[in-house]
Amino acid sequence: MKSLKIIGLSFLGMMSLSSYAQEFDASLQLRPRYEYRNGFKSLIKDSEDATSFVSQRSRLILNFKQDKLKTKLSLQNIRTWGDAATTTTADKNGVAVFEAWAQYDFDTNWSARLGRQVLSYDNQRILGEIDWAQQGQSHDAAVISFHPKNNQLDLGFALNANAENVVAPTTAYTTNYKSLQYAWYHTQFSKVNMSLLFMNTGYEFAKTITDLKVDYKQTFGTYLSYKENKWDTNLGLYGQAGKSNSNKVNAFYAGANIGYALTGNLKATLGYEFLSGKDQNDTSIDYKSFTPLFGTNHGFNGFMDYFYVGNHQNSVGLSDVFLKLNLTQNKWQFSLTPHLFSAPNTVLDASNAKMDPYLGTEIDFTAGYALQKDIVASAGYSQMFGSSTLERLKGGNAGNTNNWVWMMVSFSPKLFTFK
């Protein structure tokens, strides 16, 4: 035992001598979450029953820095409690790479990052991490960044394939986008922050059995934010153009929030979002519905994920008016948000008559408590009061109780830091 201690101390001593310019830290995240789903994402049908389960994210995060070099490796396992037998020899999902990138800082203004990484900008409406989803979202990309004082320009590039092919594949690549290029610029004028985004995404499809094509969609716009004293506000305006499956794309988005701190602990925010859609009696083949491509969409338009979370694509659009109340008290945080949803485009009933555009009202309530700096417990309750128009779009029965309950504990300890 004494010999082992001496060897261990000698090894640590050699590391300290050879790594004087190095920094290394390791942290862990464990996040089990219970959910009760009763009309989640869509109105529950009379023939359906509610379900409940526990999911868990387990992540190991390693960061390394040496002079101008930075690297990050984040490994994760995503599971549903019970999806593997207690005596299993292999996990259902295994261990996946969430982030694996290297960054080189050429000087104080220029840097380049290569590898699997999170692309997250502004309020994450167009590009976000989707941290609520246990698996999150990351991209295989190269990002060049120019960031002098009060300014930042990021240029991103990605090229995807399904394998190391020897010749061109004969089937379309549909796992993700085929290629991605974007430019994001951010600057600050006094109390105003402004961002400009231009993004080009290419999606491959089979025009014929033997003819693979890539159509490119452009997403472009601005995000503005302002804060002074008790007031803060933000505005996002985006458009989409280009082609999708050989059809023209013409869509747009507008979102605005005005927040006011009523007291030191209580804040109210009034917000509105408009996402363009297409009338159901519109016979054109153009795509007119805006798609928030890689946004953290769970954080918008209600927590029950009725809109734009793997659904409501190429539909009648959405108008969302909401009021968010946030209260912070000691280690507690509370939030109450009612949403009023309507369809900005025509919805037709079974006899092709126009329906009332009102879709429904959702009420979201959340609470969180910080047990200590690396342990946070949180919970939420949401209920959707849907309309017959929402029934027409989503199916199910608006007369049923449609609600969702969740409880989560997030453990995020730092295991060690070495310098």
- Residue 138 is part of a domain; what is its CATH number? 2.40.160.100
Compute the average pLDDT of residues 203-230. 94
Question: Would the pLDDT of 14 be above 80?
Answer: no
Q: How many domains does the chain have?
A: 1
Compute the average pLDDT of residues 27-33. 98
Q: Residue 417: which of 64, 105, 100, 99 has the closest Cα?
A: 64
Alpha helices in 46-167 (DSSP H): none
Under 8 Å between Cβ of 31 and 57: yes
Portion of the chain with pLDDT greater than 70, in percent: 95
Inside any domain, residue 11? no
pLDDT at res. 154: 98
Inside any domain, residue 111? yes
Inside any domain, residue 412? yes
Instruction: Report how far residue 384's alpha carbon sits from residue 338's, in angstroms, rounded to the nearest whole number.
Output: 10
In one letter, which amino acid is 50? A
Please indicate whether residue 9 or residue 141 has the higher confidence score (pLDDT).
141
Inside any domain, residue 90? yes
Residue 295 has phi, psi (to 5 degrees) of -80, 160
Question: Would the pLDDT of 152 be above 60?
Answer: yes
Question: Would the pLDDT of 16 be above 90?
Answer: no
Inside any domain, residue 226? yes
pLDDT at res. 209: 80
Portion of the chain with pLDDT greater than 90, in percent: 91
Question: Would the pLDDT of 161 be above 50?
Answer: yes
Instruction: Report how far residue 170's alpha carbon sits from residue 173's, in angstroms, rounded to the nearest whole number.
Output: 9
CA distance readout (Å), 122 to 138, 241, 294, 295, 300? 16, 21, 13, 10, 14
Compute the average pLDDT of residues 61-85. 97
Question: Domain range spanning residue 278?
Answer: 23-418
Inside any domain, residue 278? yes
- Evaluate the CA torsion angle 301, 303, 305, 308 in order and state its sign: positive
Which helix or strand (DSSP H or E) is residue 15 part of? helix 2-18
In which band, very low, low, confident or very high, does the pLDDT at 167 lie, cut at 50, 70 and 90?
very high
Inside any domain, residue 4? no
CA distance readout (Å), 100 to 10, 25, 131, 144, 412? 31, 15, 17, 16, 19
Alpha helices in 256-415 (DSSP H): 388-394
Residue 163 has phi, psi (to 5 degrees) of -175, 175
Question: Would the pLDDT of 20 be above 80?
Answer: no
Tokens standing for residue 175:
């796992």
pLDDT at res. 21: 80
Under 8 Å between Cβ of 78 and 110: no
Question: Would the pLDDT of 17 be above 90?
Answer: no
Compute the average pLDDT of residues 34-43. 98
Task: Give the distance, in angstroms, between the CA of residue 2 and the centroid of all CA atoms in the same chain.
Answer: 51
Inside any domain, residue 16? no
pLDDT at res. 259: 98
How much is the pTM?
0.91
Please indicate whether residue 210 or residue 137 has the higher confidence score (pLDDT).
137
Q: Residue 34: which of 405, 349, 417 has the closest Cα?
A: 405
Instruction: Report how far residue 219's alpha carbon sits from residue 228's, in angstroms, rounded to the nearest whole number.
Output: 30
In which band, very low, low, confident or very high, does the pLDDT at 227 lie, cut at 50, 70 and 90?
very high
